[in-house]
Amino acid sequence: MLRKAVVIGGSIAGILTARVLSDYYDDVVIVEKDQIENNFNTRKGTPQANHIHLLLVKGRNIIQNYFPELEEDLLKKGANKIDFLKDGKYLLPSGWAQRFNSGIVTFTLTRTLFENTLRSYLKKNSKIKIQDETSVLSFESEKKNKILLKANKGQTIQADLIVDCSGRNTKTPIWLEAIGYSKPTEERVDSFVGYATRRYLVPKNFDKNWKMLVILNKPPVNPRAGIIYPIEDGKWLVGLSGIGKNYPPVDEKGFLEFTQKLESSEFYDSIKNATPDSEIFGYQIQGSRKYNYEKMKEWPENLIVLGDAVSVFNPFYGQGITSSAIGVQVLDNMLKNQKFDGSFAKTFQNKLAKAIALPWTLGTSEDLRWPTTLGKKPTLLTRLVQNHAQKVLLLGPKSKLATKSFLEMMHMIKSPMVLFHPLILLQLILRFKKEENNS
Ligand SMILES: Cc1cc2nc3c(=O)[nH]c(=O)nc-3n(C[C@H](O)[C@H](O)[C@H](O)COP(=O)(O)OP(=O)(O)OC[C@H]3O[C@@H](n4cnc5c(N)ncnc54)[C@H](O)[C@@H]3O)c2cc1C
C-alpha cells in the first residue's frame, strides 16, 4: 500500500480522484480552498454550479461504477431520470427529432446536489480526509525531482502523490515555472460562449409531453440555443447559450427576448407564464483550453493533473464531468497495473492526453464551424468526419437511427464510426438523390 496522496480541489474531479486513490493509498487528503462542510449553496470556487450541467452517459457509467448507490440516492433526493429522446424533445437544425425509447439515459438535477451527494460518500471512507478552507499557494522543490505544496496559514504539505484537480483556473503552469520547470504549451479554441440560467417553478397546469426541451442553435444563421430541464423540488433549470459573443442577457426583459429569438417559439411559450425562482445567473467563457503536459521534457515524479485543470471544454457539449471521470479511470487502471516509479506521473499525462483527444476533437471541431471562433482549424480527416456527422444530424427528423447514433457519439458511448452504419449511409444517399431530383 502506498502512503499519502493529496488532491488539490474538492469538486467533482477531486472527489472522484480521492475515491480511486483510497483503494491504493493509506491516507488521502483533499485540500479545498472553500468552506464546504455543511455548505449546500453554490460555492465561490465553482460558480458554474448555477448553470445547466448535463451528465453524459459515459460519465454516468464511470461514476456509478465508483459509487454504486448513486442512482438510488439521487432519485430519492429529487433528481430525474431522463431518456434523451423519449423524455427529451429536440429541435435539430433540420426539424424536430423523432421521439422514442433510445436507451440514452441519464439524470437531470442541480450540479450542487450532484457534487454534494458524491462528497457525502467520501465521509464514510476512513482513509479520506477533507481539509477545507485551505488554499494551495505554490509548489516547492523537494529532493529527487519531487514537489511539495505551500498553503495558507504557513502550511507545508508533503505527499507521495499530489493530484491537481483545481479546475479551470489552475495555477500549475505558473507554479511549475516558478520552481524551474518549463511552461506547458497550450491549445485554445475560443468560441466566445455565454450562458444565462434561471430556475423556474414548473407551472401547475403544465401538460406538455416532454420533460426536457432542447432547442439547438443553427449554424451559421442562429447562434442561440436553449434548454429546459427538471431539477429537484418541482423546478426547472432554464438555460440559454449564445456562441460568438451573442451572450444571453441577465436582465428579465433581455432574457425573455433572447428566448424569442430561438429557433422555436415553444421555448418562450413554456416559460412565459412560469414563476421565476432565482435571479438570472450569467457566465461568459472564451471556449476550450488544453494544457499539453504530456509534451513537457521534465516533469515532477509525484505530480499529476486532471479534470478541468488539464482540459476545459465548451460546456455546450456537456463533456467536463465525463472527461474528469475518464481521467480518473485512466489513473485507476494505471495504479492497478503499473508500478509507481519515477515515470508513473509522466506516463499518466501521456495516457490522459490520448484519452481526452476524442472529446476535445468532438467539441472543438463543432465550435470551429462558427466563423466567429478563433483557433487552429481541424485536420482534413477531422473535417470530413465532422461534415459527415452534420449530415447525419440533419437526417434526424426522418431517421431514429441517425439521431440515436449521433447522440451515442456525443455521449461517448460509441465511437464516431457509429455514424458510418450502412443504413445511415443508405439514408444519406437517398436524401442526396431526392435533393438532386428536386433541384
Ligand atoms: C457554465 C458551465 C456549464 C457547464 N456545463 C457542463 C455540463 O453540462 N456537463 C459537464 O459535464 N460539465 C459541464 N461544465 C464543466 C464542469 O463544471 C466541470 O468539468 C466539472 O465541474 C469538473 O471540474 P473540476 O472538478 O475539474 O473543477 P472545478 O469544478 O472547477 O473545481 C475546482 C475546485 O478546486 C478548488 N480550488 C481551486 N484552486 C484551489 C487552490 N489553490 N487550493 C485549493 N483548492 C482550490 C475550487 O474551490 C473548486 O472546488 C460546465 C462548466 C461551465 C463553466
Atom of ligand 1 at shortest distance to CA of 197? 1
Would you say residue 220 lies in a domain? no
Answer whether 363 contacts ligand 1 (Cβ < 6 A).
no
Q: Is 225 in the pocket of ligand 1 (CB under 6 A)?
A: no
What CA–CA distance (Å, rounded) separates 84 from 211? 9
Ligand 1 centroid to residue 12 C-alpha, Å: 7
Domain boundary among 310, 326, 361: 361
CATH assignment at residue 68:
3.50.50.60
* Closest C-alpha to 73, from 124, 149, 20: 124
3-state secondary structure of 47: helix
Neighbours of 131 (CB within 10 A): 14
Asked if the structure places residue 223 within a domain, the reply is no
- Do residues 352 and 421 both lie within one domain? no
Tally of domains in the chain:
2
Query: 112 in ligand 1 pocket by Cβ < 6 Å?
Result: no
Residues 312 and 393 in one domain: no
Which residues form the domain of 127?
A: 2-47+55-76+110-187+291-361
Residues 41 and 16 both lie in one domain: yes
183 lies in some domain: yes
Boundary-marking domain end, from 339, 361, 383: 361
Question: How far is ligand 1, taken at its centre, from the CA of residue 54, in Å?
Answer: 13
First-residue to last-residue Cα distance in the chain: 70
Q: Which helix (H) or strand (E) holds 415?
A: none
Same domain, 301 and 396: no
Query: How far apart are the C-alpha atoms of 211 and 325, rounded to whole Å?
Result: 26
Nearest residue by C-alpha to atom 4 in ligand 1: 315
Contact by Cβ (8 Å): 14, 30? yes
Same domain as 409, residue 327? no
User: Are 14 and 115 members of one domain?
Assistant: yes
Residue 103 lies in a domain: no
355 and 420 both lie in a single domain: no
- 303 with 382, same domain? no
Do 131 and 9 reside in the same domain of the chain? yes
Q: What is the 169 CA–ligand 1 centroid distance (Å)? A: 9
Q: Is the CB of 130 under 6 A from ligand 1?
A: no
Query: If you write DSSP's letter for every residue of 84-147 in order, what string do you get?
Result: TTTTEEEEETTEEPPP-----EEEE--HHHHHHHHHHHHTT-TTEEEE-S--EEEEEEETTTEE
Residue identifier of the C-alpha nearest atom 2 of ligand 1: 48
Query: Same domain, yes or no, for 302 and 426?
Result: no
Strand 88-92 and strand 128-131: the pairing is unpaired
What is 206-271 written as a DSSP string? ---S-SEEEE--BTTTB-EEEEEEEETTTEEEEEEEESTT-PPPSSHHHHHHHHHTSS-THHHHHH
Nearest CA to ligand 1 atom 29: 11
Please indicate whether residue 54, judged by its CB atom, sits closer than 6 Å to ligand 1.
Answer: yes
Angle CA 326–330–332, to nearest 5: 115
Which atom of ligand 1 lies nearest, measured to the CA of 31? 43
- 429 and 305 in a common domain: no
Q: Is residue 141 part of a domain?
A: yes
Coil, strand or helix: which one is 181? coil
83 part of a folded domain:
no
Q: Is the CB of 172 under 6 A from ligand 1?
A: no
Each residue's pLDDT tens digit in the chain (439 positions)?
569 999 999 999 999 999 999 999 999 999 999 998 877 788 999 999 999 999 999 999 999 999 999 999 999 999 999 999 999 999 999 999 999 999 999 999 999 999 999 999 999 999 999 999 999 999 999 877 999 999 998 999 999 999 999 999 999 999 999 999 999 999 999 999 999 999 999 998 887 899 999 999 998 899 999 999 999 999 999 999 999 999 999 999 999 999 999 999 999 999 999 999 999 999 998 789 999 999 999 999 999 999 999 999 999 899 999 999 999 999 999 999 988 889 999 999 999 999 999 999 988 988 888 999 999 888 888 888 888 999 999 999 999 999 999 999 999 999 999 999 999 999 999 988 887 777 7
Answer yes or no: is 116 within a domain: yes
End position of a domain, from candidates 330, 361, 392? 361
User: Which pTM value belongs to this model?
Assistant: 0.96
Domain assignment present for 225? no
- Co-location of 71 and 134 in the same domain: yes
Cβ neighbours around 111 below 10 Å, total:
21
